[in-house]
Structure 1
Amino acid sequence: MREIVTVQVGGFANFIGSHFWNFQDELLGLGADHASDSVFRNLHQFLNMDVLYRNGETQKGILTYTPRLVSIDSQGSLGSMSSHGTLYDEGSSAPLEVTTWTGNISTCASEPHKKNLFLQSLYEEGLEDLKLTGVDKRDTRKEIQDKDIVECLENSVQFWTDFSKVHYHPQSLYELCGLWIDTEEFDNYGAGRDIYSGGLRGEEISERLRFFVEECDHIQGFQFIVDESGGFSALAADFLESIADEYSNTPALLYSVRAPSSHMNPRSQKQAISRNIHDAISFSKLSSFCELIVPIGLPSLSRSKASTYLCIEDKKPYHSSAIYAAALHSISLPFRMEPLGPTADSCYVSGAVDVYELVQMLAGHDRRNTATILDAAMPAPPLSGKHVEQSLLRNLQPLTPEIADREDLQAVESMTVHGALGSGGSQASVSEVTDRLNEAYEHSSTPPKFCHLSVAVCPLPIPLPFPSIFGNLVGQRGELLSNPIPGSLSRGSLDVNSIPMAARLRSSSAILPFLENRLLNLRRYGIERGAPGMELLRSWGFERDELEDIEESLCKMVATLDDRYQLSSDSD
């Protein structure tokens, strides 16, 4: 067994995680459904879901199968969900009795959040599973309710738990007690310093991680998703540092994510300076405690080429997080592919790789500690038509911000394609996808130095709570249509059952603008003589020598890709 423990830190990270686990839950459901497509029913033959999940048992003897996950967020972020999850009968809602106090006691309690239509339907389905009701009656109720559920989610998602269809273990959900987030005050690295070490938080969080790690047979790595737009990045950096000390031989793959709302224009020069300094400090700190960091989050998904066939509302994290979650699902598929022996049939998957191998491939040797770019094609184009050899590569669009539109002959890539469609809309075989992509790289004017390719026949399933973000040129199986479907401009899970996906991680000099911006802003606003952010950094707890260490770290990243950069700055 090669287990992965997933850690989600912060609001937008948990939005992405909610979609990610919905995909896994949908795969498991389709795999157990005798009426589903054979490509899903045969899931167990090529994907090992135990890599991400754990088997357990409640005190009542009920068997459970839950994500190997630690989710960290502010108090009140779980909405109507209990921090104990929904499977285990732990904890008590009884009021706390204080026996050492003889004075008057007043209790302040907020009204619990009500379950939305989707969560109500999950609860009803759980009750129906215990009853022998008629199938026809159940199907009729579901058909009517699904339309209402989709509309409800589009208009009312407030918490990441509002659209989560997954059961969580009680050790998974951690609310930062006493930390009720004001986004305007928690929007910088300084606001999050000492939160992890404050009180017993650090030990409590570490204990939850230890719970999942210690039951692993042979952990292959940690998968971190961190909302790095504000103070949660400081908490994540402290947590990562403790993990690096305790699990020094276990690689950490880190996705640093941002919602479109975090890119809004600053209201003042002070806020602009604070954001620029935060970006430099946050990225440097997070990257120093992981083996591979992937920045994710465009200022506007709706106006990007990544949304060519999508209808995104940037103001809804429910929308944008779905795109990023789909890409992370694709990238993580090789981690749970069953390795094939020399005589095994590769009709389902090829290109299995674990976290350590991916890290060595993309961040080893000459490009160590540089950031990696994430690209995606959603849906992936079919493997047919004119100039097919180049179409898939051209449709891959960056989900990493601030990158250059240039090729790098020294680039190293790892690509995953799954559920690709061939001629006539039929399912393309693993060998067909492999052959077409090899041709595409052969005909490319600037091929990468090396590319690892992973292929699976299983497409991305679209669960009911997925947002209605597909355009009217996307068909039921994710095929790209010649003519738009009349009616609504956007289509959701009731119209699209699955889609082909392609995602790619690449170590390339195209990331240079992202790195340069952070280095130059740190120098301009925090280190140079008379820098306007010096006082702000002191209030965050940073001394001069620590800032110079951060500058050196960023400079080494830049110099790895561009040897014109020197460590020296204009500071004395």
Structure 2
Amino acid sequence: MREVVTVQVGGFANFVGSHFWNFQDELLGLADDPAADAAFRAAPLDMDALYRAGETLQGVSTYCPRLVSVGSRGSLGSLSSSGTSGLSSAAAQELKVPTWSGNVTRSVAKPHGRNLFLESLAEGEQKPSTGDGAGNDSQKSVEDKELVECLENGVNFWTDYTKVQYHPQSLYELNGSWTNFDKFDHYGTAREVVSEWSQMEEMNERLRFFVEECDHIQGIQFILDDSGGFSSVAAHYLENIADDYTNTPVLLYCVRDPVTHGPPRTQRESMTRSLHDAVSFSKLSSFCNLMVPIGLPSLSQSYFSPFLSIQDVKPFHSSAVSAAAIHSVTVPFRLQNAGPASNFAHSSGNIDIGELVHIISGQGWQNMVTALDVAMPAPSLTDGNGLWNIKSLHSLTPEISDEDEDPYSVESLVVHGVMLAGGQRASISQVKDSVCSAYEGRSTKPKFSHLSVSPCPLAIPLPFPSIFRSNIGRHGEILSNHSERTQLPKGSLDVESVPMAARLRSSNAILPFIERRSLSLQKLGVARGTLGSQALRDWGFGKEEIEDMSEHLSKMVRMFHPEDGLTSDSD
């Protein structure tokens, strides 16, 4: 077995992670359900790659994500840091100030109650199911509708819609950052937090717990909300990981809520954001093997809008799309089949994190940054000659070029659960032949492409937002005869599963993303006498470190202009 350890750091990252683990939990349930689609029951996915089996002190068997989640104090809602429902440690822990002998005033916030969905989970664990008649089915349908409505209108924490059991070592609330503290918004605000040795050591110990019990760890997947101070926390965490687990590849997803892309209120705020993006990118890319930026300024006005009805102001909505994309690109890490994946890639459909890193960085580059393209839902094989529509893939990575004709690009494509025009599930061979033919028909082909295929679609769990438009069918098919005028967006009660495709692409399309950060650091941070250079000093950076960060970004830009590097070397 090749295990994966997952790390989630920051508010939006945990929103994404909550959906991601709900997908996995749904797959686990469907695999054991005799009434479920055969694609789920026969799906060759090894869930042990992500989960660990164990038991409680009382001898009760458990199956929990191999996960370390780091968030703000008070971000767990009604969930305790031990992974059970109850007071979070932020509210329950006594205030102790050993260096203060005077009077202490203690203010404790009212604990957050469980919403209707969490209450239903607790009741379901206590009562056996008795649904064996039409009356019970009808009642359950009404109850499920109420649960969906309660989530659609009342999600405040990522724990409000999680249906997964977490290990006591998984959930960690970071001292010095609070859910209602809006100043933890750039790289420099976390200096005091990351300088507290005991906190970073606690985070390291929790990760070590999961890593050391692995037999053959394939890598660490790290989901980070890099829009604010948690970026600095993650950079220190990743640096420790790089030191402690030298040969363990790290795949980093930097996720952002569309709300964080709002226009700056002042010129100084604009400068601070630009510096944060540059510093964060430079530091984070230095301590991972592969970095995937995720998060468009608006999903509601993106290419996804013909099929998805997303409210950008709701993290519950936008995080679901990011989680679906991450689920799809991680499918190859769990595939059990070992047949050839394509006629144009000399590797199998199931790959691990290290192999993915090797594929994407095949040109010898390190600290690679890739674009993530997604089709949600993926189209059916409906063209006259059965070609799969590559143009259905649209980027979730911001600030990239629309150019898709890079002959030096390297990519990894995952297609799972795709349908035929008649509504049947396409076979693996049909998908492979269709995708390969589509690539052969392109005027400019990628330098190297790896294809992974699975018959298992994205399973839609009950606590999934109502973001599908009326032209999406029960199995994620795109309907041609529908009326958009009067129908409300569909959710988990109307859409059971969705075919998906996701592609990690290393090409010059990512160059604008890198160039913007490199130019920002040079202009605002390196140039003498700028307000930015003073801000960086306030964040704790000296002149040499700033110049090192700038050179690191310049080097990443030069990767996409190898002819310039050869010229300078010859001089």
TM-score (norm 2): 0.93
1:347-362 matches, cutoff 5 A: 351-362=349-360
SS across alignment from 1:522: helix
Give the match for residue 391 of structure 2: 394
1:369 is displaced (CA, Å) by: 2.2
Give the match for residue 109 of structure 1: 108
Residue 93 to residue 541, structure 1, CA distance change in 2 (3 Å): closer
Give the match for residue 555 of structure 2: 556
Moved more, 184-193 or 323-332: 184-193
1:192 is displaced (CA, Å) by: 1.7
1:544 and 2:543 matched: yes
Give the match for residue 218 of structure 2: 220
Give the match for residue 118 of structure 1: 117
1:435 and 2:433 matched: yes
Residue 277 to residue 102, structure 1, CA distance change in 2 (3 Å): closer
Contact 2:250 / 2:289 at 8 angstroms: preserved in 1? yes
Contact 2:468 / 2:491 at 8 angstroms: preserved in 1? yes
SS across alignment from 1:74: strand
Between the aligned partners of 1:541 and 1:181, the Cα distance in structure 2 is 24
Give the match for residue 84 of structure 1: 82
Between the aligned partners of 1:199 and 1:368, the Cα distance in structure 2 is 29
Between the aligned partners of 1:470 and 1:298, the Cα distance in structure 2 is 18
Residue 121 to residue 409, structure 1, CA distance change in 2 (3 Å): same
Between the aligned partners of 1:241 and 1:296, the Cα distance in structure 2 is 21
1:409-488 matches, cutoff 5 A: 409-485=407-483, 487-488=486-487
Between the aligned partners of 1:537 and 1:233, the Cα distance in structure 2 is 15
Give the match for residue 60 of structure 1: 58
Give the match for residue 6 of structure 1: 6
Describe the superposition over 1:430-469 as per-residue Cα deviations: whole angstroms up to 9, x where unpaired: 0000000000000011110110000000010000010000
Contact 1:306 / 1:398 at 8 angstroms: preserved in 2? no
SS across alignment from 2:308: coil
Between the aligned partners of 1:11 and 1:564, the Cα distance in structure 2 is 42
1:11-410 matches, cutoff 5 A: 11-43=11-43, 46-86=44-84, 107-129=106-128, 133=130, 135-136=132-133, 139-182=137-180, 184-340=182-338, 351-386=349-384, 388-389=386-387, 392-406=389-403, 407-410=405-408
Give the match for residue 496 of structure 2: 497
Instruction: Give the 4+ runs in structure 1 shifted more than 6 A.
Output: 87-95, 97-105, 564-567
Describe the superposition over 1:27-67 as per-residue Cα deviations: whole angstroms up to 9, x where unpaired: 00001111111111123xx1110000000101111100000
Between the aligned partners of 1:95 and 1:128, the Cα distance in structure 2 is 32
SS across alignment from 2:502: strand
| Equivalent AA in structure 2 for residue 11 of structure 1 | G
Describe the superposition over 1:449-493 as per-residue Cα deviations: whole angstroms up to 9, x where unpaired: 110000000010000010000011100000101122564231100
1:155 is displaced (CA, Å) by: 0.8
1:184 is displaced (CA, Å) by: 3.4
Between the aligned partners of 1:375 and 1:75, the Cα distance in structure 2 is 34
SS across alignment from 2:389: helix
Contact 1:555 / 1:565 at 8 angstroms: preserved in 2? no
1:106 is displaced (CA, Å) by: 5.6
Moved more, 413-422 or 178-187: 178-187
| Equivalent AA in structure 2 for residue 272 of structure 1 | S
Between the aligned partners of 1:306 and 1:369, the Cα distance in structure 2 is 29
Identity percentage of aligned residues? 56
Contact 1:371 / 1:507 at 8 angstroms: preserved in 2? yes
1:74 is displaced (CA, Å) by: 0.4
Give the match for residue 345 of structure 1: none
Moved more, 525-534 or 431-440: 525-534
Between the aligned partners of 1:98 and 1:372, the Cα distance in structure 2 is 46
RMSD between superposed Cα atoms in Å:
2.6
Moved more, 103-112 or 52-61: 103-112
Residue 143 to residue 489, structure 1, CA distance change in 2 (3 Å): closer
Contact 1:58 / 1:87 at 8 angstroms: preserved in 2? no
Give the match for residue 569 of structure 2: none
Between the aligned partners of 1:308 and 1:368, the Cα distance in structure 2 is 37
Residue 481 to residue 350, structure 1, CA distance change in 2 (3 Å): farther
1:507-526 matches, cutoff 5 A: 507-526=506-525
Give the match for residue 344 of structure 2: none
Moved more, 95-104 or 359-368: 95-104
| Equivalent AA in structure 2 for residue 51 of structure 1 | A
1:92 is displaced (CA, Å) by: 13
Between the aligned partners of 1:341 and 1:474, the Cα distance in structure 2 is 32
Moved more, 446-455 or 93-102: 93-102
Moved more, 479-488 or 455-464: 479-488
Residue 544 to residue 98, structure 1, CA distance change in 2 (3 Å): closer
| Equivalent AA in structure 2 for residue 23 of structure 1 | F
Contact 1:9 / 1:227 at 8 angstroms: preserved in 2? yes
Between the aligned partners of 2:336 and 2:357, the Cα distance in structure 1 is 19
Contact 1:429 / 1:457 at 8 angstroms: preserved in 2? yes
SS across alignment from 1:405: coil
Describe the superposition over 1:298-350 as per-residue Cα deviations: whole angstroms up to 9, x where unpaired: 001111113331001111111011001001000000001114279xxxxxx96
| Equivalent AA in structure 2 for residue 490 of structure 1 | P
Between the aligned partners of 1:97 and 1:526, the Cα distance in structure 2 is 40
Contact 2:90 / 2:173 at 8 angstroms: preserved in 1? no
1:109 is displaced (CA, Å) by: 2.2
1:135 is displaced (CA, Å) by: 3.5
Between the aligned partners of 1:90 and 1:188, the Cα distance in structure 2 is 26
| Equivalent AA in structure 2 for residue 557 of structure 1 | M
Describe the superposition over 1:131-160 as per-residue Cα deviations: whole angstroms up to 9, x where unpaired: x74644654442111111111111111100
SS across alignment from 1:321: helix
Contact 1:87 / 1:167 at 8 angstroms: preserved in 2? no
Q: How many positions carry a matched residue from both structures?
A: 557
| Equivalent AA in structure 2 for residue 539 of structure 1 | D
Residue 12 to residue 97, structure 1, CA distance change in 2 (3 Å): closer
Describe the superposition over 1:350-398 as per-residue Cα deviations: whole angstroms up to 9, x where unpaired: 6000000000110243433231000000000000134652x52101000
Residue 248 to residue 99, structure 1, CA distance change in 2 (3 Å): closer
Moved more, 13-22 or 484-493: 484-493
SS across alignment from 1:379: coil
Moved more, 58-67 or 120-129: 120-129
Moved more, 453-462 or 92-101: 92-101
Residue 195 to residue 42, structure 1, CA distance change in 2 (3 Å): same
Moved more, 133-142 or 447-456: 133-142
Unaligned runs of 5+ in 2: 341-346, 567-571
SS across alignment from 1:432: helix
Residue 95 to residue 473, structure 1, CA distance change in 2 (3 Å): closer
Contact 2:289 / 2:368 at 8 angstroms: preserved in 1? no
